[in-house]
């Protein structure tokens, strides 16, 4: 009965309130994506990491919710018109993608479940006597890597830039500090966790990358749901507010920063804060309705992949020929460290860059500063047409199911790994990102978990050998 009511609600809302540019079939397909998302999200439970559920919500936002906004697709030559046929095909590709995710996740989860015992031998589950101290030491080390990567990323040698970038992502330290807070919910542990989360968000703002602002919030949302079995509404509100306010100003900030860099000027922390202040002022502190409308348009285009995918269906193969799997042949090179192969293919340039150039979305010079998202359905269709769309979606859905079966959020080590994986579950990114992104990072997640385990054990052994035991213990706060 609930499914029938939800289906009726989605169909009615999409038919009545979708933007005029979207034909009836696209609206119905948007509703179908919403219903399937509802079916998938209902399966969520705290013993399994919600990889597929998180992916499903994103697919609905980018292919279903997107039908409510009036949009236009801008190329380097200006906005272009897209046919109803192309828009309907794009909406269908979103539904097909999510359906393939769902179907392929079942065999993926079974295979992942069979390997769980082997992963359990790699991921630590026990802790030493000094777990909290070890967590704080490792969190400080990760925080320093985060600061170094944020401030000096362009000065770091290419061979070690990638491992530092993975270590510098906030979710790992947030997961460790969150586990410490769950075990011993003292005021100090709470302050450490919330303080690190806030600092990571602020650093994300300084970087000018909206994703770096959202990742700490998403991690906090997942951990609190895991620990409290409910979704914190405050964090959801902060995420929405941050998106609405920060996203339009981000574009003004980036333009000003690029102008400075092209003039050969350095941009330090003080300069970054000043640029952000000017960006917020020029974006929001205005009485011009046109400027506000432009800000809203920027926000809606950010959370939509429909027109970008429709662009591919419109141009392929008339203006842009099929490529086959040529760009996928470079995927194995991603597993070779750059210090062993300095001239290996740049995956961002090979995928996002070539896509942006082929479809007139960016100029060659613009590629040096920003990357246009390369949607998964476009990647598959550009390679082999509709069979390519189904192929890449089935492969990615299998991976989502595998992660769900292999890494359950039960032991603290598995929580660290699952939290580390979650920000890389971005279903509308290109195929290579899915098959290289998480596998490359698993070794780093394991290494961090074992560093905490070994350090905790070593600190406890040293304390016992000295014949002393710490007697002070802060009183736990049951409110967490």
Mean pLDDT over 188-210 rounds to 84
Position 57 scores a pLDDT of 92
Average pLDDT over residues 93-115: 94
Residue 159 has pLDDT above 70, yes or no: no
pLDDT-derived band at 393 (thresholds 50, 70, 90) equals very high
Mean of the pLDDT values across residues 395-407?
91
Beta strands, E only, 281-350: none
Query: Given its phi and psi angles, is residue 78 left (phi above 0), alpha (psi -120 to 50 degrees) or beta?
Result: left
Tokens 């302050």 -> residue: 191
Determine the pLDDT at residue 473. 44
Q: Which residue would you say has higher pLDDT here, 256 or 5?
A: 5
Q: What mean pLDDT is predicted for residues 244-251?
A: 73
Which of 204-218, 243-257, 418-432 is predicted least confidently?
Answer: 243-257
The reported pLDDT for the residue numbered 475 is 47
Q: What is the mean pLDDT of residues 421-434?
A: 87
Tens digits of per-residue pLDDT, 141-152? 888 877 777 666
Q: Which residue has the higher pLDDT, 302 or 102?
A: 102
Looking at residue 469, its pLDDT comes to: 46
Statement: residue 312 has pLDDT above 90 = yes
The number of helices, as runs of H, and strands, as runs of E, in the chain is 20, 2
Query: Of 243-247, 372-376, 455-459, where does the model show the most confidence?
Result: 372-376
- The span from the CA of 445 to the CA of 118, in Å, is 16
In our burial notation (b when 16+ CB lie closer than 10 A, e otherwise), range 279-312 reads bbeebeeeeeeeeeeebeebbbbeebbbbbbbbb
Residue 441: partners with Cβ closer than 8 Å, 6 or more residues away: 166, 420, 421, 424
Residues 6+ apart with CB under 8 A from 123: 407, 411, 413, 414, 416, 417, 446, 449
First-last CA distance in the chain? 37
pLDDT of amino acid 92: 97
Look at residue 419 and tell me whether its pLDDT is greater than 80: yes
Note the pLDDT of residue 289. 43
188 has a pLDDT exceeding 50 = yes
What confidence category does residue 107 fall into, taking pLDDT thresholds of 50, 70 and 90? very high
Cis amide prior to 317 (ω within 30 degrees) = yes
For 38-42, what is the mean pLDDT?
A: 92
More confident residue, 363 or 126: 363
- The pLDDT score that the predictor gives to residue 37 is 96
The mean of the pLDDT values for the chain is 82
User: Rg of the chain over CA atoms, in angstroms?
Assistant: 23
């Amino acid at each position: 009965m609930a499914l029938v009511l939800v289906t009726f609600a989605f169909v009615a809302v999409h038919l009545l309130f979708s933007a005029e540019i979207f034909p009836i079939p696209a609206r119905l397909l948007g509703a179908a994506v919403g219903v399937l998302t509802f079916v998938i999200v209902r399966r969520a439970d705290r013993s399994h990491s919600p990889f597929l559920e998180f992916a499903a919500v994103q697919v609905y936002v980018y292919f279903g919710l997107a039908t409510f906004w009036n949009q236009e697709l801008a190329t380097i030559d200006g906005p272009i018109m897209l046919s109803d046929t192309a828009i309907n095909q794009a909406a269908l590709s979103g539904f097909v993608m999510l359906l393939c995710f769902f179907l392929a996740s079942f065999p993926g989860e079974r295979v992942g479940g069979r390997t769980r015992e082997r992963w359990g031998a790699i991921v630590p589950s026990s802790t030493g006597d000094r777990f909290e101290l070890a967590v704080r030491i490792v969190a400080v080390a990760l925080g320093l890597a985060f600061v170094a990567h944020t401030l000096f990323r362009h000065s770091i040698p290419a061979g070690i830039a990638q491992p530092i970038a993975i270590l510098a992502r906030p979710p790992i330290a947030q997961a460790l500090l969150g586990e410490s807070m769950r075990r011993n919910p003292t005021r100090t542990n709470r302050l450490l966790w919330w303080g690190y989360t806030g600092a990571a968000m602020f650093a994300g703002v300084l970087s000018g990358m909206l994703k770096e602002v959202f990742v700490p919030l998403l991690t906090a949302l997942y951990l609190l749901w895991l620990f409290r079995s409910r979704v914190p509404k405050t964090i959801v509100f902060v995420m929405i507010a941050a998106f609405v306010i920060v996203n339009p100003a981000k574009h003004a900030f980036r333009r000003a920063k690029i102008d400075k860099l092209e003039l050969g000027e350095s941009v330090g922390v003080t300069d970054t804060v000043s640029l952000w202040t000017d960006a917020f002022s020029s974006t929001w502190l205005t009485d011009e309705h046109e400027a506000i409308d432009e800000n809203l348009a920027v926000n809606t285009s950010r959370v939509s992949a429909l027109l970008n995918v429709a662009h591919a269906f419109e141009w392929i193969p008339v203006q842009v020929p099929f490529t086959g799997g040529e760009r996928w042949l470079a995927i194995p090179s991603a597993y070779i460290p750059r210090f062993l192969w300095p001239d290996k293919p740049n995956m961002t340039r090979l995928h996002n860059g070539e896509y942006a150039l082929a479809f007139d979305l960016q100029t060659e010079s613009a590629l040096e500063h920003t990357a246009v998202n390369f949607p998964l359905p476009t990647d598959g269709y550009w390679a082999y047409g509709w069979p390519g769309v189904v192929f890449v979606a089935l492969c990615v859905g299998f991976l989502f199911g595998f992660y769900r079966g292999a890494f359950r959020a039960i032991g603290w080590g598995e929580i660290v790994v699952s939290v580390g994986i979650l920000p890389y579950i971005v279903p509308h990114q290109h195929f290579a990102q899915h098959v290289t992104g998480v596998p490359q990072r698993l070794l780093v997640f394991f290494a961090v978990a074992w560093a905490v385990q070994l350090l905790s054990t070593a600190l406890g052994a040293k304390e016992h050998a000295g014949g002393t035991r710490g007697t002070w213990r802060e009183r736990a706060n049951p409110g967490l």
